[in-house]
Every structure is written in C-alpha cells, then in structure tokens.
Amino acid sequence: MTDPLNPPPRKNPQKRTRIPTRPMPMRSRAALGLAAAAAEGRFMLQTCAECGTVQYPPRDACGACLSVELNWTDVSPAGHLIADTTVRTSTNVYFRERAPWRVGTVRLDVGPSAICHVHGDVAADDPVRLVIKLDKSGQGVLFALPQKTTPNMEDDPHMREMTCDPKFRRVLITDARNENAPALAQALADAGASLIFVGESEAWRPYPHRDALEKTANVKIVPLDVTDTASVAELAGEIGGKTDILVNNARFVRPGGIMDRGDVVFARDEMEVNFFGMMRLAQAFGPAMRGRGADGDNSAAAWVNILSVYALSNMPEFGAFSASNAAALSLSQCLRGELIEGGVRVMNVFTGPTEDEWHQPLPPPKVLPAALARAVVDGLREGLEDVFVGDVAKDLIDRWRAGPKILEREMMDPGGQG
Amino acid sequence: MNAKRAGYDGVVAAVPVTVPYQRYSKETAHWWIARALRQLAEEAGIKPSEIDGFCASSFTLFPDTAVGLTQHLGLTPRWLDHIPFGGASGIVALRRAARAVQAGDANVVACVAGDTNHVDSFRRMLSSFSRFAQDASYPYGSGGPNACFALLTDHYMRQFGATREDFGAICVAQRENALRNPHAIMKKPLSLQQYLDARAISDPIALFDCVMPVAGAEAFLVMREDDARAAGLPHAHIRSSIERHNAFPDDPIQMRGGWAMDIDELYGMAGVAPDQIDVLQTYDDYPVIVMMQFEDLGFCEKGDGPQFVRAHDLTIEGDFPHNTNGGQLSAGQAGAAGGYIGLVEAIRQVTGTAGPTQVKGAKTAMASGFGMINYDRGLCSGAAILSGDTA
C-alpha cells in the first residue's frame, strides 16, 4: 500500500521556489492521440480498421497489414507487468529531480507491449490496468495501476504528478454568488482541500446561500469582483502565492440571441464576466501559479473553467451567452498553452443547462450543483482536461464529434435535437 | 526457402584501425573519421585518392552524412554508403563492401565508424534518437538505453534465473582483457565484489553494466585478396555473414535477437561449427545482450546463458576467449564505432596482429553486432565469421 501523504509543512517564504521542469514534451502527431484520450480519461489505442490489430507505439501504418486506416478506439486496459526497473539516473532534469522513478513493460491483453510508468503498489508479474494520464508536459503517458484499488493509491508520488488531487491543496472559487458555489466548496472540502477561498463581489448585496457557504469547512470568503481589474489584482496580491487550484465558476447568463435583444448591454456583461473575467484572473493569478507548478506536495496544479457546452455550438435561445462561452473556450486554450510551461493543467468542465433561475423555463435534464461539483472533483483527481457533465453535455459532444456542421443545423431547429 | 548465397571468395578485410578513444573530445565526428581514414591509408601504403569506396557510420555527424564527408575529406569514391545502424554498423558495412568489391564496383572500400563525445552530446542524442523512443520510451523516466536494457535484464533474470554474479562474470573478464589493451579507457582492475557493490543506475543495472560513452573511431579496409597479398597486408577471409532487422516482432519483450533466425546459415556458409570458433567478439552494450548472443549464436541453448558463463573462462587465456580487447564495457563506447570494435579486433585476432590481446593460435573468429533501440528492443543484428590465411 501507498504511504499516506502528510499535510505539507508551512512554506518558508525565504526559501527559493523550485522552478518547474518538465518531462520531454516532443511527440509525433500520431502520438498526440494519447493526450486526447487522457484529456477525457479514456483508454484508447490505435486499432487497424482493416485487420483489427491494436498498435503501440502510435504510428502511421498498421504493423500487421500496412493499412493506413488506424482509428483511436477504446480498448481493454488489462495487462501484466512483465519487466520493471527503477530509474535512478536520468538525463532529463525533471526525472532527475524526482528519482528514483519506476518504469515497466506491460504486455496488454489486446496485444502490444508498452513501456509505462508504474504505480508503487504493483508488484512483479502482477495483473495491471493501464490508464493514460497527462504528464507535467501535458502529454499523454501510460500508467500501470494495480488491478484493484489500494489504500491511499492516489498519494503515490508519481501518480500525484499526473493528477491535480485537491487533497491538501488550497483552492479559490471565484464566485460565491453562483448557486453552485456551496456544492463546489463542500465537494472540495470533502476531497481534502486545506483552504477554500470563495470570492464574493458586492458584499453589501445579500444572497441566499451565504450562510451555508460560510459554514462549510475550510472556507474563507474573500472580496473578489472578476469584472474589476483592481479587485482581482488585490486578491491575487494576497493569496496568489497560495492558490493551488482556481475554480472559475463566475458566469453571467441571460437568455436571448441577437435581434430579440435590442442592444449589446447584456452581451457586454456576458463578455465582462465570462471572457474578460477569465482573462483578468489569468493575468493576476496565472504567473504565480505557473511559477509554483513544482512547489512541493501543494504545488499549483490546476485551473478549472466551468463552461457552457454551447461554447462548442451555439444555442440560439442563449445565443449571446453561448458566444461569450465560445470566446472563453478559445481563451482557455490559450491559457492552457501558457500554464503548461509550469506544469499547471487547465480543465474545462462543460455543462448543459444548469438548475438555476436563468434556465428555469428549460426542460430537464438539467445539471444540479452537486453533480457539477462532483464532476469538478473527480476530474481533478483523475487529472483530466475536458469533462462533460450531465446528459445534455455528453450528448452534445457526441454530436459535435460526429459532425459540427450537422450539429449546427440541429441546434437551429429544436425539433431536430431529439 | 532462400536461394543459396554466394560466398565472399577473393575478398578480404584488412588494416584494422583504432583511433585511441578519449572520454570527451572538443573535436567533431568529421575529425575522428578523418584520422581513421588517414591511418587506414598510411598503414595500407596507399594514397587517400586510391580509396574508391567509402562507407561511414556516425551518430554525431549531423547535419552531414557520408555524402558531406566526401567533400569535407577530399574523397572521390565511385561507391558510397552511409550505415546508420548503430551497433550493427560494422557487420553490415563489411557485408556491403565485400559485395561491392566482389562485383567490381570498387577496388578498395574504407569502412569507418567514428563519433565525438561532447559533454552534452549523449543527452541530446537520446532525446531525438528515434520517433518511437521520443514518443514511447524517453518520456518514461528518460533513463535512455540504461532503462530499456534494465527492463530486458529484469525479464531475462526472472525467466532464466540469471544472477547479477553471472553478468558480473562477463564484465570482470572483459576488464581483465582490457588491462592488456593500451587503448582501453578503463585502466583499473575490476573485482566481482566491486561490480556487485557498484552504484545502482536502473535496477537491476548498476554502474559496471553500462558502457562509458567516449569519442573515437574504428576502421578497416575491404579489398581484393590479390591486392592485399601484393601489398603485403595481413588480411582476414570473410567466411560468412548475416544480418536481420526487427526479428521476432511479436515477442512481448526481447529475449532473443535476429541471430537466432539466421544462425544455421551463418555456420553453414562458413562450413564451421560453434566449437571451431577460436575467439568471439560479441556486441556488449550490456552484459545481458552478451548472454543472449552466447545463446542465439549457437554456443549454448536458449536460457543456458547463465550456466554457460559459469562454466567458461572468458579471458584471453581462458577456454572461451571473448571480447579480447575489453569490449565496449571496458574499452569504451565510441558511438557507432561501438559497432566496429569487435569486428576490428576479430580481424586483428585472425591475422595474428592483436599484440597484447592476441589469443594464441586464433584462426577463426566470430564477430557480432547489435543495434538501435528504436523503442523497447534492439532491432538490428548481424554476425560474421572470419578466418586467417592459415585456417
């Protein structure tokens, strides 16, 4: 079993913060399929469309029949560890700093053998299940886990490098007023977050769940208005150096598209919060987080955006809101590229209509705050990049993958959505 | 069924050349290869312009290849080859050059492997070694070949009961041989206890299982037997040779090399049996590969490698002289020249020119090559049987 992680000691502010280093990020285009699978926590390998041979390492033509029709497919992750080693000297600084590092060869039941990272609870010749994780370079890597869950297995030091587990980490939830804030705070507290800052704008204005929020373990309500650059900068000055996970749940939502709104007032508000809010937060908190990506057991780990799944394809009833989320999604990709230099992950949680006042007239299913919070915590524990929460979001991403243009037409005609 | 291959009648290998190795060098691969060529010409008594065939191997020549070397070094060959096969380069060069000379495409082929070793060149080479290595092995701990061979060694030990003492016996014997080789980088004796107590590198591999990357060059000439005789050059006959790439791709992990596919042809073509090999030069980047070669080259059954090592004395004066110049493990690994060191020593042995490392009465030698850990295993293998005039 894995030794449980101890609460990290208080940081000595006089000590230098270790500069984040990374495993080698270069990959062939084919190999990027692993990152795509890892982003969603799937176990996928290339499979030949003609002869069915499962391939590894990723390649451009089938090693059995030379077909170039290789599709990334969900396959069985079961296998056996047939060789292992502990690397004690490495030419790469990242691994050198973290040595000894365990590596093994797993023979997959579906055919190929693969060199992979190995969890400490796996013994020689053990059956294992492989997962694909994102490493600190944001690239997909194979990780061999014990077939069955073992005590504290998430605390394995190599495992924790690949995930963003909230345990002993300090979190900022950006919008206390959002109806999902109490559920998010509770779920993160339950997951072991040691300190949960919750940003509150316009403190003089009451909102119904403030008491519940304040009573949640480890929660500290702090002033924050994501539409106010000075407010964001001020809070970053106070807690930016101890924000390990930032959950950006700030959102401005109103129904309506273009012509049924006579002006751009709401559209401006949507952009102020949903797009510029993220940008202000990123400019204020991003540099410190990126610099703290290797800062011990409670290093900066993840940036979470809660986005509408209609960022992918516009929903006319919430047309302008969808557009602001599309902008936010694009900005999050930019942020992902900038934060990865510090090994900090950007996780987008895509949700369909949520159970709140602005989605009141929409039919079910709608995403409840608790479900959203669970998806955030599970995604962090798994180290995901893209999470689709609820049936509507899952259905939409399926349709989007099948054909974005077809989906666009379906979205225009509500009758076509069923 | 393959067609019967023609022999290498009338073609010989001669003028074995070693440019003494250095741990680090500020010079380039071009410099090391030039020195080898110069030495070849001097020892053969020919002008560089008389070299009309040229075959080069190097890891550190980038952005040049053998083509760039012709202009850089002032050669005008009518036959040119570049062999990027790492540890199999020497055997493959010999095979190709021999056919070129035999067919009349060239009179004298200079086969050269040389590499420099800058302080950071090993790390740079590892991270861009191959696409599969970049995608699927280097991101896992970046242990380089040490980690890949640690996995093979771990599996081999579990499968066949080999112990660290067995691998140690190979390394210790080679060190003893190296002490007679003035060019060897390793100058101090190595005891089994020192081997066992050495710093762990990538379990079960420890310090003395690993080669020392160095700068250096190795070379030989391939020419017509008549020309060698006329010039009074000691020469080795090529009795047979094999090469194979990506053998046994379905083996879940490497336990055998391509030799196992072609071994009957190797002995059949030469008309000799394993017990007629007087001296063996295997490719020894790690001792587990040596043990596999004892098996795959027909000196014992698969899995009997550990037993074979326990039963034999691998030193120059032993009953099974092996890697007589100390091999890469003790003489150093000069990049692609590591794929030449055994073959060059084998030419010396059968021509009776090995000096302090000479095995008395060695008439027939085998040299083998192994190279290119493209991902999880060595892909290239080759071997040749050579004999002297008196065999």
Q: What per-residue confidence (pLDDT) applies to B390? A: 65
> How many CA within 13 A on the CB side of residue B271?
5
Distance CA A275, CA A283 (A): 12
Our count of domains for chain B comes to: 2
Q: Is residue A26 part of a domain?
A: no
Residue B379 near chain A (CB below 8 Å):
no
Which among A82, A116, A137 has CB closest to B155? A82
Which among A23, A104, A107 has CB closest to B139? A23
Q: Which chain B residues are closer than 8 Å to A94 by Cβ?
A: 142
Across the range A124-145, mean pLDDT stands at 97
Q: Is residue A2 part of a domain?
A: no
Farthest CA pair distance, chain B: 56
Q: Mind spelling out the 3-state secondary structure of B280-292?
A: EECCCCCHHHHHH
Contacts 24+ apart (CB under 8 A), B126-130: B126/A91, B127/A24, B127/A26, B127/A91, B127/A92, B128/A26, B129/B373, B129/B374, B130/B372, B130/B374, B130/B375
Q: Is residue B2 part of a domain?
A: no
Tokens 């312009």, located at residue: B49
Same domain as B321, residue B176:
yes
For residues B338 and B293, the answer to whether their CB atoms sit within 8 Å is no
Q: What per-residue confidence (pLDDT) applies to A87? A: 97
Residue A36 near chain B (CB below 8 Å):
no
Same domain as B264, residue B176:
yes
The number of C-beta contacts closer than 8 angstroms across A and B is 121
**B141/A101 touch (CB, cutoff 8 Å), yes or no:** yes
Same domain as B166, residue B18:
no
| 3-class SS of residue A22 | coil
Identify the domain boundary among A162, A179, A200.
A162
Q: Which of A323, A327, A324, A334 is nearest to A282 (CA)?
A: A334
Cis amide bond preceding A364, omega within 30: no
User: The domain containing residue A129 runs over which residues?
Assistant: 32-162
| 3-class SS of residue A341 | helix
**B202/A88 touch (CB, cutoff 8 Å), yes or no:** yes
Q: How many CB atoms lie within 10 A of CB B104?
A: 8
Q: Is residue A27 part of a domain?
A: no
Same domain as B205, residue B221:
no
pLDDT digits (tens, 9 = 90+) for A4-22: 999 999 888 888 999 999 9
Across the range B269-296, mean pLDDT stands at 97
Same domain as A284, residue A360:
yes
Helix, strand, coil shares, percent, chain A, to 5: 35, 20, 40
Which residues lie across from B241 on neighbouring strands? B384
Q: What per-residue confidence (pLDDT) applies to B129? A: 85
Same domain as B331, residue B240:
yes
Across the range B176-191, mean pLDDT stands at 96
Q: Kindly give, in sequence order, each residue whose CB lies less than 8 Å from that of residue B210, ignoring residues fewer than 6 positions away.
A: B146, B201, B286
Distance CA B129, CA B125 (A): 6
For residues A115 and A103, the answer to whether their CB atoms sit within 8 Å is yes
Q: Where does A111-259 show beta strands of DSSP type E?
A: 113-118, 127-134, 140-146, 170-173, 195-200, 219-223, 245-248
Position B391 pLDDT exceeds 90: no
Cα distances from A227 to residues A91, A94, A278, B68, B364, in angstroms, run: 46, 38, 9, 62, 85
Mean pLDDT taken over chain B = 96
Q: Is residue A8 part of a domain?
A: no
Distance CA A365, CA B227 (A): 89
Same domain as A324, residue A175:
yes
> How many CA within 13 A on the CB side of residue B61?
28
Q: Is residue B184 part of a domain?
A: yes
Q: Is residue A307 part of a domain?
A: yes
Q: Is residue B309 part of a domain?
A: yes
Residue A418 confidence class, pLDDT cut points 50, 70, 90: very low
State both tokens at B246: 């990506």
Same domain as B165, residue B33:
no
Q: How many CB atoms lie within 10 A of CB B6?
A: 9
Which among A24, A105, A117 has CB closest to B151? A105
Q: At what angle do helices A181-190 and A369-382 cross, to 10 degrees?
A: 40
Distance CA B69, CA B111 (A): 13
Looking at per-residue pLDDT, the higher value among A415 and B218 belongs to B218
Tokens 């800062």, located at residue: A295
Residue B275 near chain A (CB below 8 Å):
no
Same domain as A204, residue A108:
no
Same domain as B161, residue B51:
no
Chain A closest-CA separation from residue B371 CA (Å): 19
Same domain as A269, residue A347:
yes
Q: Which of B255, B237, B248 is nearest to B384 (CA)?
A: B237
**B146/A87 touch (CB, cutoff 8 Å), yes or no:** yes
Mean pLDDT taken over chain A = 96
Across the range A311-338, mean pLDDT stands at 97
Residue A417 confidence class, pLDDT cut points 50, 70, 90: very low
Same domain as B202, residue B290:
yes
Same domain as B145, residue B27:
no
Local structure of residue B379 (DSSP, 8 states): E
| DSSP per-residue letters across A343-394 | T-EEEEEEESSBSSGGGTTSPSP-B-HHHHHHHHHHHHHHT-SEEEESHHHH
Q: Is residue B116 part of a domain?
A: yes
Tokens 């560089």, located at residue: B48
**B203/A85 touch (CB, cutoff 8 Å), yes or no:** yes
Residue A123 near chain B (CB below 8 Å):
no
Q: What per-residue confidence (pLDDT) applies to A416? A: 46
For residues B278 and B354, the answer to whether their CB atoms sit within 8 Å is no
Cis amide bond preceding A166, omega within 30: no
User: The domain containing residue B187 runs over which residues?
Assistant: 128-210+236-387
Across the range B32-54, mean pLDDT stands at 97
User: In Å, how far from its chain's centre is CA B194?
Assistant: 26
Residue B201 near chain A (CB below 8 Å):
yes
% of chain A at pLDDT higher than 70: 99
Q: What per-residue confidence (pLDDT) applies to A71? A: 97
Cα distances from A277 to residues A174, A220, A285, A291, B158, in angstroms, run: 10, 21, 12, 21, 58
Q: Which chain B residues are closer than 8 Å to A161 by Cβ?
A: none
Same domain as B65, residue B203:
no
Which residues lie across from A278 on neighbouring strands? none
Position A257 pLDDT exceeds 60: yes
Our count of domains for chain A comes to: 2
Q: Which chain A residues are closer than 8 Å to B249 by Cβ?
A: 63
Helix, strand, coil shares, percent, chain B, to 5: 40, 20, 40
**B201/A23 touch (CB, cutoff 8 Å), yes or no:** no
Q: How many CB atoms lie within 10 A of CB B355?
A: 11
Burial class (CB in 10 A: 0-12, 13-18, 19+), B299: buried
B237 φψ region: left (φ > 0), alpha (ψ -120 to 50), beta (else): beta
Q: Is residue A321 part of a domain?
A: yes
Identify the domain boundary among B180, B202, B230.
B230
Q: What per-residue confidence (pLDDT) applies to B76? A: 97
**A85/B205 touch (CB, cutoff 8 Å), yes or no:** yes
Distance CA A245, CA A248 (A): 10
A237 φψ region: left (φ > 0), alpha (ψ -120 to 50), beta (else): alpha
Identify the domain boundary among A114, A140, A162.
A162
**A85/B126 touch (CB, cutoff 8 Å), yes or no:** no
pLDDT digits (tens, 9 = 90+) for B343-378: 999 999 999 999 999 999 999 999 999 999 999 999
Looking at per-residue pLDDT, the higher value among A185 and B4 belongs to A185
Distance CA A138, CA A36 (A): 10
Which among A28, A94, A107 has CB closest to B252? A107
Q: What per-residue confidence (pLDDT) applies to B120? A: 79
| DSSP per-residue letters across B136-156 | HTTTTTT-HHHHHHHHHHHHH
pLDDT digits (tens, 9 = 90+) for B108-159: 999 999 999 998 777 777 777 899 999 999 999 999 999 999 999 999 999 9
Same domain as B298, residue B156:
yes
Angle at Cα A223 formed by Cα A218 and Cα A227, nearest 5°? 130
**B249/A90 touch (CB, cutoff 8 Å), yes or no:** no
Check which CATH number belongs to the domain holding B64 and give it.
3.40.47.10
Tally of residues, chain B? 391
Helix H or strand E encompassing B223: strand B215-224
pLDDT digits (tens, 9 = 90+) for A330-386: 999 999 999 999 999 999 999 999 988 888 888 889 999 999 999 999 999 999 999
Q: Kindly give, in sequence order, each residue whose CB lies less than 8 Å from that of residue B21, ignoring residues fewer than 6 positions away.
A: B183, B185, B214, B215, B216, B331, B332, B334
Same domain as A352, residue A270:
yes
**A24/B154 touch (CB, cutoff 8 Å), yes or no:** no
Same domain as A154, residue A130:
yes
B-proximal residues of A, 131-190, CB under 8 Å:
135, 137, 139, 141-142
Burial class (CB in 10 A: 0-12, 13-18, 19+), B259: buried
Q: Which chain B residues are closer than 8 Å to A133 by Cβ?
A: none
**A115/B376 touch (CB, cutoff 8 Å), yes or no:** yes
Across the range A225-237, mean pLDDT stands at 98
Distance CA A272, CA B34 (A): 67
Same domain as B272, residue B171:
yes
> How many CA within 13 A on the CB side of residue A381?
17
Q: How many CB atoms lie within 10 A of CB B45?
A: 11
Tokens 């000595």, located at residue: A12
| 3-class SS of residue A319 | helix
Q: Is residue B308 part of a domain?
A: yes
Which residues lie across from A74 on neighbouring strands? A44
Q: Which chain B residues are closer than 8 Å to A30 by Cβ?
A: 135
**Going by DSSP bridges, is the β-strand pair A140-146/A127-134 parallel, antiparallel, or unpaired?**
antiparallel
Identify the domain boundary among B169, B197, B230.
B230
Same domain as A231, residue A157:
no
Same domain as A398, residue A326:
yes
Q: How many CB atoms lie within 10 A of CB B116?
A: 26
Cα distances from A324 to residues A232, A277, A309, B101, in angstroms, run: 20, 11, 12, 73
pLDDT digits (tens, 9 = 90+) for B317-351: 999 999 999 999 999 999 999 999 999 999 999 99
Residue B84 confidence class, pLDDT cut points 50, 70, 90: very high
Same domain as A135, residue A208:
no
% of chain B at pLDDT higher than 70: 99
Distance CA B150, CA B162 (A): 13
**B151/A137 touch (CB, cutoff 8 Å), yes or no:** no
Residue B18 confidence class, pLDDT cut points 50, 70, 90: very high
- The ipTM value here is 0.94
